[in-house]
Amino acid sequence: MTELPEALTLAKQLRDTVAGRSVARVEAGRSPHGFAFYSLPTEEYPAVLAGRPLGPAEAHGMFIFMSAGENALLLGDGINLRYYAEAAEAPPKHQLLLELEGGGALVCSVQMYGGMWACPGGVCDNPYYRTALEKPSPLSEAFDAAYFEGLLASAKPTLSAKAFLATEQRIPGLGNGSLQDILFTARVHPKAKLKDLPDLKLEALFTQTKALLADMAAKGGRNTEKDLFGKPGAYQSILSAKTAALPCPACGGPVTRQAYLGGNVYFCPNCQAL
């Protein structure tokens, strides 16, 4: 799933590739998908998006926002977004296709679930998106130690480290993927309760959140995700489904995989002792 590092990468690639180009043709809902979400009946998408120039894309948390003339398109985190230089190269199955003037196409396909919201008047009325807009990005200066302490102070002390970092959009764009390496490098167990963590560990969570998200973004996202051209990111995930069978890179012990709070967590029970 797209998280902040990938959303930033995609937004930059979109700015470099399609910003300023007009949408020539729109096809929404071509391949039925039970968990593809639209803001309007799909037959209304062409009227909102076609014939309009795409503005420079912005990443907000896990979301990608692009104006289309006076209207806009908002993409959520479960969308595979690809650009094809020739529209004819686009795969036949998709949930949203924007053919561009001068050739080329943007294609959205939904993985497990995902939203592709056409926004008349440029207003995208999505509560998660609004939250992402309101809160400071973890890569911004506003997201400093004092801000992080404020987040900790307003969280229930019995909350686990995973619940604190990666649920309820508390930190926009930090999801279950980026989370694994942040917890590992901070040496914090996903289920450790905030009240049981010493100050040093809480500081490590803050430092690693900023440092790793910045590193992932600088490297064009994680290697478990693909960019606008279908290329995996250059950030090598330490703990993910890709590495679950490998020994812990710090101690050589086995890595544990567990379903916890919507998604698997990967951790080293030795390095990240509870």
Residues that bind Zn ion (CB under 5 A): 248, 250-251, 253, 268, 270-271
Decide whether 18 or 161 has the Cβ nearer to Zn ion: 161
Which CB, 19 or 250, lies closer to Zn ion? 250
> What phi, psi does 266 have (nearest 5°)?
-120, 130
Report how far residue 19's alpha carbon sits from residue 11's, in angstroms, rounded to the nearest whole number: 10
Rounded CA gap, 145 and 16, in Å? 33
- Give the distance from CA 190 to its chain's centroid: 20
Q: Which is nearer to Zn ion, 118 or 212 (CB)?
A: 212
Residue 256 phi, psi dihedral angles, 5° rounding: -100, 140
* Residue 265 near residue 257 (C-beta atoms within 8 A): yes
DSSP per-residue letters across 80-119: EEEEESSGGGS-S--SEEEEETTS-EEEEEESSSEEEEEE
Q: How far is the CB of 244 from Zn ion (least distance, A)?
A: 13
Q: How far is the CB of 240 from Zn ion (least distance, A)?
A: 15
Cβ nearer to Zn ion, comparing 80 with 208: 208
**Distance between CA 131 and CA 126 in Å, rounded?**
9
- CB nearer to Zn ion: pick between 251 and 274: 251
d(CA 59, CA 14): 10
**Minimal distance, residue 188 CB to Zn ion, in Å:** 13
* Shortest distance (Å) from residue 200 CB to Zn ion: 18
Q: Which is nearer to Zn ion, 46 or 269 (CB)?
A: 269
Distance CA 212, CA 8 (A): 14
**Distance of closest approach, residue 185 Cβ to Zn ion, in angstroms:** 12
Q: DSSP class of residue 122?
A: G
Phi first, then psi: give them for residue 98, nearest 5 degrees: -120, 110
Residue 254 beta carbon to Zn ion: minimum distance, rounded to whole angstroms: 9
